[in-house]
């Protein structure tokens, strides 16, 4: 597998004077919102392929997004539908990728649809890492198919990339280039809170550099506190660092949010932000900074730069504010609180604390170590012994 930087440089050459081809795998609420946002760009030099299982549902969903876009005068993008794709079928995924030759692939598929996993885990065990085998179940198949057909598309993963992408990398498998969501959701909350505290009207010009994992996205967003863990964050405005009261900032990050599918507007926006950043660097020769979980196979979330200003595009974790070792340490500290002790040599290891909580809350004895070749069995166990039994209560 070639590096993300090499893929970006190939992408620049490949789409010069041509349409960029974006593939959305999974057309649930995240996929639908993302399709809507992409069509709203009014980009004639973009082609979107949506991939899923249910053709009639996909056709209906695509039609309403296309017509709504035309009403707004924004829809100038061709949309193709590839139905009847089983995300468990690697051969079918190979054919899908090979036939359509995407430049960018976004995985928004879910192994158990129609449920926000956090609606079960947060109130009961205050940790999200339990769901990692479900989050990786489909993307591992997609990446296997991707590798088999020797695709060089940029891949963006949507579900729990803090641990999913490192798990793939540690197993020696092809892995996504970027993760969306999680940390990315917290940055705008912080900007709004700082603007309120500092009386800044153009809050979009506040710059945040932050490294932390999924647990702190959730605990700060839901509760406005950090569980007593000092955060690795730098906040600037007009090039000058703001010495803000971080406890008050994080308290202000607790803002009312829906708990249904509307919440996925944020995850779709995270995907959109990454795609926009890629295209700005590739097409417009700009330098952009993103915040992504799992980037380059690192555990947790990091600030990452895509620098397209030169003849050769470069991409790297931003160490201008913090060292990589400090960011890694903070991310491992955060993800431990999410129930993940380590991800090494293709094996995910849960914390003892998580195992105790799961047994107490759900009466289920989760294995401590999940080797890569036991992902499907563990995911099935979680669905059968935790999700389904919880729904029956």
Give kind and range of the element (H or E) at residue 46.
strand 46-51
pLDDT over threshold 90, residue 260 = no
pLDDT over threshold 80, residue 279 = yes
pLDDT over threshold 90, residue 118 = no
Give the model confidence (pLDDT) of 217-235 as tens digits: 999 999 999 999 999 999 9
pLDDT over threshold 90, residue 258 = no
> In this predicted structure, what is the pLDDT of residue 181?
87
Closest CA to 382 of 117, 76, 138, 161: 117
In the three-class reduction of DSSP (H, G, I as helix; E, B as strand; rest coil), residue 42 is classed as coil
What is the separation of C-alpha 184 from the centre of its chain, rounded to a whole number of angstroms?
A: 8
> In this predicted structure, what is the pLDDT of residue 321?
97
> In this predicted structure, what is the pLDDT of residue 160?
95
DSSP-assigned states of every residue in 297-338: G-SSEEEEEEE-SSSS-EEEE--SSS-HHHHHHHHHHHHHHT
pLDDT over threshold 90, residue 120 = no
User: For residue 116, what pLDDT band results from cuts at 50, 70 and 90?
Assistant: confident
CA distance 47 to 50: 10
> In this predicted structure, what is the pLDDT of residue 351?
98
Cα-based distances in Å from 365 to 134, 361, 385, 390: 17, 11, 9, 15
User: For residue 123, what pLDDT band results from cuts at 50, 70 and 90?
Assistant: confident
Residues 6+ apart with CB under 8 A from 253: 186, 189, 190, 193, 220, 221, 224
pLDDT over threshold 90, residue 85 = yes
pLDDT over threshold 80, residue 117 = no
Average pLDDT, the chain: 95
User: For residue 152, what pLDDT band results from cuts at 50, 70 and 90?
Assistant: very high
CA distance 16 to 12: 6
CA distance 82 to 93: 11
87 within 8 A of 138, measured Cβ to Cβ: yes
> In this predicted structure, what is the pLDDT of residue 392?
77
Closest CA to 209 of 238, 236, 227: 236
Sheet strands side by side (includes 314-317): 287-293, 301-307, 314-317
Give the model confidence (pLDDT) of 329-387 as tens digits: 999 999 999 999 999 999 999 999 999 999 999 999 999 999 999 999 999 999 999 99
Closest CA to 88 of 134, 142, 132: 142
Which tokens belong to 181? 């969501």
Instruction: Kindly report the pTM of this predicted structure.
Output: 0.96
Give the model confidence (pLDDT) of 297-321 as tens digits: 999 999 999 999 999 999 999 999 9
How large is the average pLDDT for residues 63-82? 95
80 within 8 A of 49, measured Cβ to Cβ: yes
> In this predicted structure, what is the pLDDT of residue 391?
80
pLDDT over threshold 90, residue 111 = no
Torsion sign over Cα 253, 258, 260, 263: negative
Q: Tokens 């598929």 identify what position? A: 109
Q: Tokens 């928004």 identify what position? A: 108
């Amino acid at each position: 597998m070639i590096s993300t930087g090499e893929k970006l440089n190939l992408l620049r050459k490949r789409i010069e004077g041509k349409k960029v081809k974006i593939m959305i795998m999974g057309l649930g609420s995240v996929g639908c919102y993302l399709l809507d946002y992409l069509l709203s760009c009014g980009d004639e030099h973009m082609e979107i392929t949506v991939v899923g299982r249910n053709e009639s549902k996909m056709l209906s969903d695509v039609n309403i997004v296309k017509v709504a876009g035309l009403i707004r005068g924004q829809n100038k993008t061709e949309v193709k539908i590839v139905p009847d794709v089983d995300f468990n079928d690697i051969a079918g995924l190979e054919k899908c990728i090979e036939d359509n030759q995407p430049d960018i692939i976004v995985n928004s598929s879910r192994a158990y649809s129609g449920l926000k996993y956090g609606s079960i885990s947060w109130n009961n065990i205050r940790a999200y890492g339990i769901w990692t085998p479900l989050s990786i179940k489909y993307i591992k198949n997609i990446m296997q198919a991707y590798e088999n057909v020797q695709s060089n598309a940029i891949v963006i993963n949507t579900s729990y990339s803090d641990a999913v992408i490192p798990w793939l990398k540690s197993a020696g498998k092809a892995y996504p280039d970027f993760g969306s969501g999680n940390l990315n959701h917290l940055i705008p909350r912080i900007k709004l809170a700082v603007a309120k505290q500092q009386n800044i009207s153009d809050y979009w010009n506040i710059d945040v550099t932050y490294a932390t994992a999924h647990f702190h996205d959730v605990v700060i967003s839901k509760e406005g506190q950090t569980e007593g863990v000092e955060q690795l964050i730098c906040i600037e405005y007009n090039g000058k660092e703001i010495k803000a009261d971080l406890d008050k900032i994080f308290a202000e990050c607790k803002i009312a949010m829906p708990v249904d599918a509307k919440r996925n507007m944020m995850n779709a926006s995270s995907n959109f932000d990454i795609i926009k950043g890629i295209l700005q660097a590739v097409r417009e020769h700009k330098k952009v900074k993103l915040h992504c979980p799992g980037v380059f196979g690192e555990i947790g979330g990091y600030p990452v730069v895509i620098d397209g200003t030169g003849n050769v595009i470069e991409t790297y974790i931003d160490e201008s504010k913090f060292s990589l070792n400090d960011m890694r340490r903070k991310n491992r500290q955060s993800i431990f609180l999410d129930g993940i002790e380590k991800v090494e040599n293709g094996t995910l290891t849960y914390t003892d604390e998580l195992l105790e909580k799961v047994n107490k809350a759900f009466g289920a004895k989760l294995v401590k170590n999940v080797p890569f070749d036991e992902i499907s069995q563990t995911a099935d166990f979680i669905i059968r012994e935790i999700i389904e039994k919880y729904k029956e209560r």
